[in-house]
Amino acid sequence: MDLYSGYNQCMLHEELCDLTTFGTPLGPHHLTTLLQGHTNVVQVYQGNTALILQHKIPDHISPFVDDVPVKSMCMHYQQEDGSYETIPTNPGICCFIWEHCIMLNHILQHLENVGTTVSTTKFVLAVLTAVIVGHKCMFKG
pLDDT at 6: 66
pLDDT at 81: 92
pLDDT at 27: 93
Residues pairing with 129 in the sheet? 138
Which residue stretches of the chain have pLDDT < 70?
Answer: 5-8, 36-39
Residue 86 CB: number of other CB atoms within 10 A?
Answer: 17
pLDDT at 97: 87
The pTM (predicted TM-score) of the whole model is 0.73
pLDDT at 26: 94
pLDDT at 134: 83
| CA atoms of 85 and 93, how far apart (whole Å) | 9
Residues pairing with 136 in the sheet? 131
pLDDT at 28: 92
Nearest to 111 by CA among 68, 59, 77, 62: 68
Residue 37 CB: number of other CB atoms within 10 A?
Answer: 8
Nearest to 74 by CA among 110, 103, 106: 103
| CA atoms of 132 and 138, how far apart (whole Å) | 10
Q: How many residues does the chain have?
A: 141
